């Protein structure tokens, strides 16, 4: 039984995700689209299992997983087979160790793979081509856990009513356990991606959908739901749906991935709003027996899973080759084509059925030989790419080389400190110490050329929260040079003012401080924490004479050519971006050379 208007919810979900991936600076909260899918999936899975038990007195486990396999696996394999060869068109950072990504995707373990990789969901120099399959991994894990659990419940339930009650209580307990895990964990993690990806902390929307399924149902409904259908008119039902949609739209514009509010209340609000839309859609189905869903809505709902699968790797590849105005339309066109091909032709053919597109029968059988031959060639190509892909991309190699140079420089600095080579009234060594993140690592060679005696301590994904402890550690070891450069604002926090105030207040005497204003071209000035961090650093420089600014933000804005084919955080190395970054720091160091230190 197909419930009308649920297609609208599914379409809204994938539109939110697309807006987020294409225009993150405008729609920073679009990642909640995945939670719409989670809640809807939990509702449908549980409701259909209850219907099956009521009709048959049992649940066919093999039949369930057979249907899910043919719906989930073929599009996933097709996406990988088409994406990997295309990835050869861009820099090798995207195919480095690609075999591990493919294995994680096909094994439905991408979420745990990303946790172990330790990267940030939003801030990746080379985003993984299949990182988006983290949500598919959680969905499949939910199927395995929940369907087996419900199967067990059917063995002790004597009626569908008893099964509903057991599912309601179990879903409620698991919902609370998972949500509280996310809520509590958000206060203790330094990288929110670890709880965003985790099945344990992010599975609660599924169980909210399950709770709703016991209260309404799909084919077999409850008496309480039937009374609600009689009570609600169409206008009130549409208002309920619109209320949930308004909440989702507000979250789309104002929710931020790295905000603790997202994890303490944001995902919960999104899931509750989705539940209200599902409930309203279920009522509308009963209230509009003579109204048909628009064919276009049903079409996009049917291929939404395929669009979700194809759009991300295609967008990553196309955005490396073209400007956004070209890469977005190309991504949409090819995602729709491949998703339609999969849903209406390949998937039915694999099950021995005829496809049907907008009422037209599509017999794919006569083309099967060509299809399987092409699939075989693509499989061999992908195996070759996976086996012979470099273990490290260009950026990772740069980081390793930079770390070796940094270690060598720091050993020399430590030796000098041991020999008491002090040079100022505060017994502080003359020179420059630079603390940076991946942007600094990317420019480390260029920095070393213009500041050969500088100590560069740069690490990928280093956060602003680490600055104070780094300074204290170097000071304790007598290796902190007179001029300290902080280039850490790209990975910042909502409490950047508190962090910077604390850093300045505890900054050691006898040293001068230079802030490098960060740049993140993925956001506008109004929504960019990096930009706001830089502005506050400028305010601190006005208030403290020992602080000065290396204005990388202005240099970055004035040189748009260095960002072509980049992630808008790490400049393209084929341009003069590294040299510009290095000279920005050099100019600030030279300007502050005879300036005051902290007294």
**Residue 139 pLDDT greater than 90, yes or no:** yes
What proportions of the chain, in percent to the nearest 5, are helix, strand and coil? Answer: 65, 5, 30
**Residue 337 pLDDT greater than 90, yes or no:** yes
Query: CA angle at residue 379 from 378 to 384, to 5 degrees?
Result: 95
Q: When comparing pLDDT for 465 and 565, which is higher?
A: 465
Percentage with pLDDT > 70 across the chain? 91
**Residue 394 pLDDT greater than 80, yes or no:** no
| Beta pairing partners, 550 | 516
Compute CA distances 533 → 260, 524, 525, 563, whole Å: 18, 13, 11, 21
What is the model's pLDDT at position 397? 56
**H-type alpha helices, 118-159:** 134-142, 148-154
Q: Report the distance separating Cα 237 and Cα 240, nearest Å.
A: 5
Tens-digit pLDDT profile for residues 164-214: 999 999 999 999 999 999 999 999 987 899 999 999 999 999 999 999 999
What is the model's pLDDT at position 411? 57
Q: Report the distance separating Cα 383 and Cα 98, nearest Å.
A: 10
Q: How far apart are the first and last CA of the chain?
A: 76
Q: When comparing pLDDT for 122 and 253, which is higher?
A: 253
What is the model's pLDDT at position 350? 83
- Could you write out the DSSP letters of every residue in 136-192? HHHHHHHIIIIIHHHHHHHTT-SSHHHHHHHHHHHHHHHHHHHHHHHHHHTTT-S-T
Tens-digit pLDDT profile for residues 437-456: 888 888 888 998 999 888 88
What is the model's pLDDT at position 546? 93
Q: Report the distance separating Cα 266 and Cα 188, nearest Å.
A: 17
- The helix/strand/coil state of 121 is coil
What is the model's pLDDT at position 396? 56
Residue with tokens 């209230």: 287
**Residue 402 pLDDT greater than 60, yes or no:** no
Candidate from 164-173, 229-238, 370-379, 523-532 with smallest mean pLDDT: 523-532
Q: When comparing pLDDT for 88 and 406, which is higher?
A: 88
8 A C-beta contact, residue 64 and residue 72? no
Residues 147-151 have a mean pLDDT of: 96
Q: Report the distance separating Cα 313 and Cα 336, nearest Å.
A: 14
pLDDT category at 265 given cuts 50, 70, 90 is: very high
Choose among 39, 29, 9: nearest CA to 179. 39
Instruction: List own/partner pairs for 318-326 with CB under 8 A and 24 or more apart.
Output: 320/89, 320/90, 320/91, 320/94, 320/565, 321/89, 321/90, 321/565, 324/22
Q: Six-digit token pair at 245?
A: 């949609």
Across all residues in the chain, what is the average pLDDT?
Answer: 88
Q: Six-digit token pair at 472?
A: 């204290």
What is the model's pLDDT at position 403? 55
Residues 79-88 have a mean pLDDT of: 94
What is the model's pLDDT at position 186? 95
**Residue 225 pLDDT greater than 80, yes or no:** yes
Q: Report the distance separating Cα 205 and Cα 270, nearest Å.
A: 9
pLDDT category at 124 given cuts 50, 70, 90 is: low
Residues 452-472 have a mean pLDDT of: 85
Tens-digit pLDDT profile for residues 481-527: 999 999 987 877 778 899 999 999 999 999 999 999 999 887 777 77
366 CB-near residues (< 8 Å, 6+ apart): none
Chain region(s) in the chain for CATH 3.40.50.1110: 394-592
Tens-digit pLDDT profile for residues 13-50: 999 999 999 998 889 999 999 999 999 999 999 999 99
Strands (E) located in 460-537: 483-487, 512-516
What is the model's pLDDT at position 130? 94
Choose among 417, 414, 438: nearest CA to 427. 417
Compute CA distances 174 → 37, 167, 556, whole Å: 18, 10, 48
Residues 287-304 have a mean pLDDT of: 90
Q: Report the distance separating Cα 250 and Cα 269, nearest Å.
A: 11
**Residue 423 pLDDT greater than 50, yes or no:** no
Choose among 485, 471, 439, 479: nearest CA to 593. 485
Choose among 169, 96, 173, 157: nearest CA to 129. 96
Residues 233-262 have a mean pLDDT of: 95
CA 593 to the chain's CA centroid:
42
What is the model's pLDDT at position 398? 56
Choose among 95, 83, 80: nearest CA to 385. 95
Tens-digit pLDDT profile for residues 40-68: 999 999 999 999 999 888 999 999 999 99
Q: Report the distance separating Cα 322 and Cα 280, nearest Å.
A: 42
Architecture of domain 394-592: 3-Layer(aba) Sandwich (3.40)
Tens-digit pLDDT profile for residues 549-591: 999 999 999 999 998 877 788 888 788 999 999 999 999 999 9
Tens-digit pLDDT profile for residues 153-164: 999 998 889 999
**Residue 271 pLDDT greater than 80, yes or no:** yes
**Residue 281 pLDDT greater than 50, yes or no:** yes
Best-predicted range by mean pLDDT (159-168, 388-397, 469-478): 159-168
Q: 309: exposed, middle or buried (C-beta count within 10 Å: 0-12, 13-18, 19+)?
A: buried
pLDDT category at 408 given cuts 50, 70, 90 is: low
CA 431 to the chain's CA centroid:
40
| Beta pairing partners, 458 | 436
8 A C-beta contact, residue 171 and residue 275? no
**Neighbour count for residue 378 (Cβ, 10 Å):** 17
- Could you write out the DSSP letters of every residue in 76-100? HHHHHHHHHHHHTTS-GGGTTTHHH
Percentage with pLDDT > 90 across the chain? 60
pLDDT category at 422 given cuts 50, 70, 90 is: very low
| Beta pairing partners, 457 | 435
8 A C-beta contact, residue 368 and residue 354? no
Residue with tokens 């980081």: 399
Residues 247-256 have a mean pLDDT of: 95
What is the model's pLDDT at position 420? 46
């Amino acid at each position: 039984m197909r419930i009308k208007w649920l297609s609208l919810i599914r379409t809204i979900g994938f539109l939110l995700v697309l807006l987020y991936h294409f225009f993150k600076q405008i729609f920073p909260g679009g990642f909640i689209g995945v939670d719409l899918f989670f809640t809807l999936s939990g509702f449908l899975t549980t409701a259909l299992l209850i219907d099956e038990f009521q009709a048959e007195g049992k649940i066919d486990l093999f039949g369930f997983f057979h249907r899910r396999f043919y719906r989930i696996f073929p599009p996933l394999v097709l996406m990988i087979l088409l994406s990997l060869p295309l990835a050869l068109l861009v820099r090798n950072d995207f195919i480095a160790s690609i075999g591990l990504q493919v294995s994680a995707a096909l094994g439905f373990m991408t979420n745990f793979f990303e946790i172990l990789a330790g990267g940030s969901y939003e801030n990746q120099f080379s985003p993984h081509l299949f990182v988006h399959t983290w949500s598919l991994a959680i969905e499949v894990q939910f199927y395995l856990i929940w369907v087996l659990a419900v199967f067990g419940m059917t063995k002790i339930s004597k009626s569908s009513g008893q099964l509903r009650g057991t599912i309601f209580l179990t879903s409620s307990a698991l919902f609370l356990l998972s949500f509280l895990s996310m809520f509590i964990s958000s206060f203790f993690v330094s990288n929110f991606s670890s709880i965003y990806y985790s099945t344990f902390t992010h599975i609660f929307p599924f169980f909210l959908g399950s709770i709703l399924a016991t209260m309404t149902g799909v084919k077999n409904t409850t008496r309480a739901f039937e009374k609600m259908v009689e009570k609600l008119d169409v206008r009130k039902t549409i208002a309920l749906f619109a209320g949930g949609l308004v909440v989702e739209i507000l979250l789309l514009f104002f929710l931020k991935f790295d905000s603790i509010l997202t994890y303490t209340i944001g995902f919960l609000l999104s899931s509750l709003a989705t539940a209200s839309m599902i409930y309203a859609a279920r009522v509308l189905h009963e209230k509009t027996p003579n109204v048909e869903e628009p064919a276009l809505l049903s079409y996009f709902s049917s291929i939404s899973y395929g669009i979700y699968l194809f759009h991300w790797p295609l967008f990553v590849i196309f955005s490396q080759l073209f400007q956004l105005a070209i890469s977005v339309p190309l991504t949409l066109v090819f995602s729709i084509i491949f998703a339609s091909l999969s849903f209406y032709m390949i998937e039915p053919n694999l099950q021995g059925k005829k496809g049907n597109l907008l009422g037209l029968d599509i017999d794919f059988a006569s083309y099967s030989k060509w299809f399987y031959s092409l699939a075989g060639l693509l499989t061999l190509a992908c195996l070759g790419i996976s086996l012979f892909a470099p273990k490290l991309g260009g950026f990772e190699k740069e980081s390793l080389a930079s770390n070796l140079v940094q270690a060598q420089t720091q050993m020399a600095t430590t030796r000098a400190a041991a020999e008491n080579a002090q040079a100022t009234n505060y017994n502080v060594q003359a020179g420059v110490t630079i603390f940076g993140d991946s942007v600094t690592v990317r420019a480390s060679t260029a920095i070393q050329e213009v500041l050969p005696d500088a100590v560069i301590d740069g690490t990928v994904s280093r956060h602003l929260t680490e600055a104070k402890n780094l300074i204290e550690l170097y000071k304790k070891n007598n290796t902190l040079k007179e001029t300290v450069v902080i280039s850490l604002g790209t990975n910042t926090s909502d409490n950047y003012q508190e962090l910077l105030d604390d850093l300045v207040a505890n900054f050691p005497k006898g040293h001068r401080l230079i802030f490098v204003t960060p740049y993140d071209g993925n956001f506008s000035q109004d929504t960019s924490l990096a930009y706001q961090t830089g502005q506050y650093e400028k305010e601190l420089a006005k208030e403290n004479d020992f602080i000065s600014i290396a204005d990388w933000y202005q240099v970055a804005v004035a040189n748009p050519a260095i960002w072509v084919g980049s992630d808008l955080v790490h400049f393209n190395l084929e341009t003069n971006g590294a040299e510009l970054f290095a000279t920005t720091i050099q100019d600030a160091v030279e300007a502050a050379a005879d300036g005051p230190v902290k007294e």
